[in-house]
């Protein structure tokens, strides 16, 4: 290396060292300022949000409320527990916790119990074998809930708007139809922010939904009502929707599982006044549940005829899977 090249190299090293130090100092300053602001904000809001004032969620009285939907469905098919017992248990649980968390805003408990009786009668009739029931009605007798923004015949469909506070759906959304065809039993609809367009769950029709793990904390949005009632063991399955985190954020805040499928896979007719004829949309319906094992079977039902586009039953070799951290 010539003397001139050596001088240029040393000059560049000094230049890089200077900018590296400057970036390090600015980053350190940002962290310090950020921590100070966090401390100040936490201190201010501690006067309004007092953890000592949080409501106490009642202890679960029926152990089966803690089971996965897949496990309960199998037990119902095996006649180890009846659909009526399961539905009655979840209805009782909703009545216990809902005054504290304000998650379920409209219910159909009486109809749900009638459908549970019909489910037990179908199993008892022997018209379908256990294998046929599992194939054709994988969630027979299993309760589920869905968002107020999802059309459910006869239930309020306000979208969180005062102007629609008395509006009821006249038909089921296509995804609700698919769930019912799979044997699932709708218990009611849950709270949302206005038009699903906010990162927490409150509106001027039903008020604010609270987190069952700490009722002074948010549940996120827009599927906050679903996340809250599922986390409180009031529903094993939640039919939700997502554009920019409406399933994923509430699932994270409430410690449950949620998945946003690829757009175009799930039928969207009946979701937030959609006709199902929209050619391009980022919104998609997706599952929410307490157990990861319920995600795939739930998604299979929701996808309907598009199931052939996915390989949900294909084994994945984790040793050949690449993971990226951002």
CB 166 within 8 A of CB 174: no
Q: What angle do CA 189, 194, 200 make, to 5 degrees?
A: 85
pLDDT digits (tens, 9 = 90+) for 5-49: 545 445 545 555 778 888 889 999 999 999 999 999 988 888 877
Q: Cα 110 from chain centroid?
A: 25
- Which is more confidently placed, 30 or 324? 30
Instruction: Examine the pLDDT at 227 and tell me if it is beyond 70.
Output: yes
Separation of alpha carbons 116 and 245, rounded Å: 33
pLDDT band at 120 (very low <50, low <70, confident <90, very high): very high
Q: What angle do CA 147, 159, 218 make, to 5 degrees?
A: 60
Instruction: Examine the pLDDT at 123 and tell me if it is beyond 50.
Output: yes
Identify whether 222 is a catalytic site residue: yes
pLDDT band at 50 (very low <50, low <70, confident <90, very high): confident
Task: State the pTM of this model.
Answer: 0.86
Share of the chain above pLDDT 90, in %: 79
Residue with the two structure tokens 């949080």: 54
Which tokens is 202 given? 């409150």
Q: What's residue 324's pLDDT? A: 65
pLDDT digits (tens, 9 = 90+) for 239-289: 999 999 999 999 999 999 999 999 999 999 999 999 988 988 899 999 999
Q: Partners of 237 in the beta sheet?
A: 289
Identify the active-site residue in 68, 70, 82, 147. Answer: 147
Burial status of residue 51 (CB atoms within 10 A of its CB: 0-12, 13-18, 19 or more): exposed
Q: What's residue 314's pLDDT? A: 86
Task: Look over the chain and give the mean of its residue pLDDT values, rounded to a whole number.
Answer: 93
Q: What's residue 320's pLDDT? A: 83
Q: What angle do CA 81, 84, 85 make, to 5 degrees?
A: 50
Give the number of other CB atoms < 10 A from CB of residue 296: 14
Identify whether 246 is a catalytic site residue: yes
pLDDT digits (tens, 9 = 90+) for 291-307: 999 999 999 999 999 98
Q: What's residue 8's pLDDT? A: 46
Identify whether 147 is a catalytic site residue: yes
Sign of the alpha-carbon dihedral angle for 256, 260, 266, 270: positive
pLDDT digits (tens, 9 = 90+) for 140-196: 999 999 999 999 999 999 999 999 999 999 999 999 999 999 999 999 999 999 999
CB 93 within 8 A of CB 233: yes
- Which is more confidently placed, 311 or 80? 80
Instruction: Examine the pLDDT at 317 and tell me if it is beyond 90.
Output: no
| Three-state secondary structure string covering 190-256 | ECCCHHHCCCCCEECCCEECCECCECCCCCCCCCHHHHHHHHCCCCCEEEEEECCCCCHHHHHHHCC
Burial status of residue 225 (CB atoms within 10 A of its CB: 0-12, 13-18, 19 or more): buried
CB 192 within 8 A of CB 156: no
Helices (H), 48-200: 69-77, 83-101, 109-125, 130-136, 174-181
Q: Partners of 189 in the beta sheet?
A: 106, 146
Residues in Cβ contact with 249 at an 8 Å cutoff, skipping those fewer than 6 apart: 199, 220, 221
Q: Taking the CA of residue 169 as centre, how many other CA atoms within 13 Å lie in the half-sphere pointing to its CB?
A: 27
Which tokens is 50 given? 């007092």
Q: What's residue 159's pLDDT? A: 98
Separation of alpha carbons 22 and 104, rounded Å: 53
CB 225 within 8 A of CB 104: yes
Separation of alpha carbons 293 and 259, rounded Å: 12
Identify the active-site residue in 82, 246, 260, 269. Answer: 246
Identify the active-site residue in 68, 222, 223, 228. Answer: 222
Out of 8-12, 116-120, 125-129, 270-274, least confident range: 8-12
Instruction: Examine the pLDDT at 313 and tell me if it is beyond 50.
Output: yes
């Amino acid at each position: 290396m010539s003397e001139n090249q050596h001088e240029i190299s040393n000059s560049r090293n000094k230049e890089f060292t200077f900018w590296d130090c400057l970036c390090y100092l600015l980053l350190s300053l940002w962290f310090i300022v950020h921590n100070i602001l966090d401390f100040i904000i936490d201190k201010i809001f501690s006067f309004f949000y007092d953890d000592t004032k949080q409501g106490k969620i009642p202890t679960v009285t029926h152990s089966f409320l803690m089971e996965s939907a897949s496990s309960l469905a199998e037990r119902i098919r095996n006649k180890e527990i009846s659909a009526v017992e399961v539905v009655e248990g979840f209805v009782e649980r909703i009545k216990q916790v809902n005054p504290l968390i304000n998650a379920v805003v409209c219910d159909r408990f009486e109809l749900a119990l009638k459908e549970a009786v019909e489910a037990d009668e179908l199993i008892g009739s022997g018209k379908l074998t256990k294998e046929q029931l599992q194939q054709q009605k994988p969630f027979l007798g299993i309760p589920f809930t869905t968002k107020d923004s999802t059309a459910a015949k006869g239930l309020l469909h306000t979208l969180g708007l005062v102007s629609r506070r008395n509006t009821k759906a006249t038909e089921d959304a296509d995804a609700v139809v698919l769930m019912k065809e799979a044997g699932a039993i709708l218990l009611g609809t849950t709270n949302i922010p206005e038009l699903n367009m906010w990162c927490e769950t409150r509106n001027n029709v039903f008020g604010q939904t609270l987190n069952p793990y700490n009722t002074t904390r948010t549940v996120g949005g827009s599927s906050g009502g679903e996340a809250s009632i599922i986390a409180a063991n009031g529903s094993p399955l939640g039919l939700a929707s997502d554009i920019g985190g409406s399933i994923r954020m509430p699932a994270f805040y409430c410690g449950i599982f949620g998945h946003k499928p690829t757009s175009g896979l799930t039928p969207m007719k009946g979701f937030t006044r959609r006709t199902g004829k929209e050619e391009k949309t980022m919104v998609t319906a997706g599952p929410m549940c307490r157990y990861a094992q319920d995600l795939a079977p739930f998604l299979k039902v929701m996808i309907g005829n598009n199931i052939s586009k996915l390989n949900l039953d294909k084994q994945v070799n984790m040793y050949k899977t690449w993971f990226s951290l951002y």
